[in-house]
């Protein structure tokens, strides 16, 4: 009987180990790199936009430059509140620039994660992080993606990263902090993001608005960016 009991216990323990291994394999990693900005190839996944498309005079560039820890992306330019003479467009506001990820096949699945983390170096301005999800809120036939936005506030000259280490601070934005917006205005409704159907992201900056106390107004801007990651706290 003791031999049978021993075989039975060994079988049970083997089954438990197999189940544990399978669960570990099914669990997503604690973090996932969504976008990196360490090469020119990485930057090809993004395109720039600004008020210049509608008669404004703002300008932006995105390039890779050497930094202390390797190569980083540099999103920079100039914000102008002026409109070009003879513009065909009637603009409600000018003074904005942004960088948005290009369309890609499929979706970014952020469902296993609860936080976006950024490694950034700011200039004292308030930037806006936008997540675009597949259209499931707006009326059928409306082709625009759903947008969810959160402020990115970076004191000038400091590096903000997702993990604590000497000389570095944290910048983590919970997905729950992103608010639904429609053409820059917050949607006054109880809506929930579908993180499994992310179709793109962007970072943008406006000459006016943002968080009180941050740098604002026309003029130069510069945001250094190394990567964007998704984190799972559980």
Q: In whole numbers, what is the pLDDT of the chain averaged over residues?
A: 81
Tens digits of residue pLDDT in 45-57: 999 999 998 888 9
Residue 164 confidence (pLDDT): 40
Percent of the chain residues topping a pLDDT of 90: 45
With cut-offs at 50, 70 and 90, classify the pLDDT of residue 5.
low
With cut-offs at 50, 70 and 90, classify the pLDDT of residue 167.
very low
Q: Residue 195 region, left (φ>0) first, then alpha (ψ -120 to 50), else beta?
A: alpha
Alpha helices in the chain (DSSP H): 2-26, 40-43
> Distances from the Cα of 187 to the Cαs of 180, 183, 210, in angstroms?
6, 10, 17
Domain ranges within the chain, ordered by starting residue: 30-231
Element (DSSP H or E) covering residue 115? strand 115-121
CATH code for the domain defined by 30-231:
2.60.120.430
Number of Cβ within a 10 Å radius of residue 130: 19
């Amino acid at each position: 009987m003791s031999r049978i009991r021993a075989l039975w216990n060994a079988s049970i323990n083997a089954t438990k180990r197999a189940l544990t291994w399978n669960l570990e394999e099914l669990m997503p990693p604690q973090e996932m790199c969504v976008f990196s900005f360490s090469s020119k190839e990485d930057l090809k996944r993004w395109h720039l936009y600004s008020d210049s498309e509608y008669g404004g005079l703002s300008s932006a560039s995105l390039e890779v430059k050497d930094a202390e820890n390797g190569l980083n992306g540099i999103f920079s330019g100039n914000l102008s509140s002026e409109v070009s003479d003879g513009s065909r467009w009637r603009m409600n506001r000018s003074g904005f620039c942004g960088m948005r990820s290009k369309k890609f096949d499929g979706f970014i699945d952020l469902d296993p994660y609860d936080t976006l983390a950024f490694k950034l170096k700011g200039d004292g301005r308030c930037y806006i992080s936008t997540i675009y999800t597949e259209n499931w809120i707006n009326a059928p036939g409306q082709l625009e993606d759903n947008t969810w936005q959160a402020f990115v506030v970076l004191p000038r000259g400091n590096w903000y990263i997702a993990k604590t280490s000497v000389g570095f601070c944290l910048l983590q934005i919970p997905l729950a902090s992103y608010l639904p917006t429609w053409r820059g205005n917050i949607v006054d409704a109880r809506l929930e993001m579908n993180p499994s159907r992310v179709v793109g992201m962007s970072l943008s900056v406006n000459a006016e608005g943002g968080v009180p106390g941050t740098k604002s107004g026309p003029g130069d801007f510069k945001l250094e960016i190394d990567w964007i990651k998704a984190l799972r706290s559980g």
